Chains A and B, each alone.
Chain A
Amino acid sequence: MNIKVQNLTKKFNNYLAVNNINFTLEKSKTLGLLGPNGCGKTTSIGMMLGLITPSSGEVLIDDQNVDSSNRNDLLSRMNFASPYIELPKKLTVRQNLEVYGRLYGVKDLKNRITEISQDLNLNDFLNKNTGELSSGQKNRVSLAKSLINKPDILFLDEPTASLDPDIGDFVREYIEIYKSKNQITILLASHNMKEVERLCDTIIMMKEGQIVDRGTCKDLISRHGRDTLEDTFLEIARSKNEMA
């Protein structure tokens, strides 16, 4: 599945959260969405998921508008993970995966839960309440939930935020392996430059709701004459707006 974002704008009262952004994400590629806090990354993802109605512009998934009549079919082939959205705390990990599996209409759900629990090492706390888990465990559960329906498009909003380097690396490695095995399209919003460098084919830099630069990691670093992506990010974040 590919994603085409055309002239996408979102205005909240007088605040322009996303300002006329355009990009295309090809099938099986990973796109990194980089930018300072409040630059419109999560709002853009919300619009791509059909959770937020754009003020103008459109999101096309396989050339079909995400707000069209077959929205349910499109959404059933997508999924989303964010550490900022908590799963019901009173439900055990297994129950949560079962509920989301049912919501997505996953066939052979029992086996899918067993498979994903083994892959993400969830077996030790599968029967524990989600609210009693550590951040790292919750994060892995959130990732498991996002992969329960074997999505063609995966939206990841800071998937390794607040994780220690060990679990962070585990999650990154898992995403990397899963991507190579399943050829899924990933849109990753992150503040972790090493993560973006490792996982993304192309990067979009956003600032104040606009796309200010785009390209591969190497392109961006060389274009700005910096040594690392982090330095490039800092330069872009601290400079005046220039449209890409």
Chain B
Amino acid sequence: MRWHKIYGLSLRHIYLIRNCFPRILEIRYWPSVQVCLWGFMSEFFTVSSS
């Protein structure tokens, strides 16, 4: 295992995300949508149907 290569590739992705606001937004936005849409709705139906 060559750690410097893993570090190099990770660094590339960190820089890519840091330099691009839409990427940061995308990382935050879609999980939030998933949590709201599926998580909270499932929770609501579970509670209200019981």
Partner among A72, A92, A99, A105 whose Cβ is within 8 Å of the Cβ of B12: A99
Q: How far, in whole Å, are A58 and B36 apart by their CA atoms in the complex?
A: 57
Q: How far, in whole Å, are A129 and B19 apart by their CA atoms in the complex?
A: 9
Q: Name the interface residues of B12-38: CB closer than 8 Å to any CB of A.
A: 12, 15-16, 19-20
Give min CB distance, B24 to chain A, whole Å.
12
Give min CB distance, A240 to chain B, whole Å.
47
- Chain B residue with Cβ nearest A103: B8
Interface contact B12-A88, CB-CB below 8 Å: yes
User: With A99-B11, A102-B11 as given contacts, are A91 and B16 in contact (CB-CB < 8 Å)?
Assistant: yes
Interface contact B19-A90, CB-CB below 8 Å: yes
Give min CB distance, A75 to chain B, whole Å.
11
User: With A72-B2, A103-B4, A103-B5 as given contacts, are A98 and B11 in contact (CB-CB < 8 Å)?
Assistant: yes
Binary contact track A99-116/B, C-beta < 8 Å → 1, others 0: 111111100000000000
Does B7 sit within 8 A of A, measured CB to CB? yes
Interface contact B16-A103, CB-CB below 8 Å: no
- Chain A residue with Cβ nearest B3: A105
Q: How far, in whole Å, are A7 and B11 apart by their CA atoms in the complex?
A: 40
Does B9 sit within 8 A of A, measured CB to CB? yes
Neighbouring A residues of B7 by C-beta, 8 Å? 102
Does A20 sit within 8 A of B, measured CB to CB? no
- Chain A residue with Cβ nearest B16: A90
Does A95 sit within 8 A of B, measured CB to CB? yes
Give min CB distance, A78 to chain B, whole Å.
15
User: With A98-B11, A99-B8 as given contacts, are A105 and B2 in contact (CB-CB < 8 Å)?
Assistant: yes
Interface contact B4-A105, CB-CB below 8 Å: yes
- Chain B residue with Cβ nearest A98: B11
Neighbouring B residues of A101 by C-beta, 8 Å? 8
Neighbouring A residues of B15 by C-beta, 8 Å? 90-92, 95, 99
User: Chain B: residues with CB nearer than 8 A to chain A?
Assistant: 2, 4-5, 7-9, 11-12, 15-16, 19-20
User: Chain A: residues with CB nearer than 8 A to chain B?
Assistant: 72, 88, 90-92, 95, 98-105, 129
11 further A-B contacts with Cβ under 8 Å, apart from A92-B15, A103-B9, are A91-B16, A91-B19, A92-B19, A99-B9, A99-B11, A102-B4, A102-B5, A102-B8, A103-B8, A105-B2, A105-B5
26 contacting pairs across A/B (C-beta < 8 A): A72-B2, A88-B12, A88-B16, A90-B15, A91-B15, A91-B16, A91-B19, A92-B15, A92-B19, A95-B19, A98-B11, A99-B8, A99-B9, A99-B11, A99-B12, A99-B15, A100-B8, A101-B8, A102-B4, A102-B11, A103-B4, A104-B8, A105-B2, A105-B4, A105-B5, A129-B19
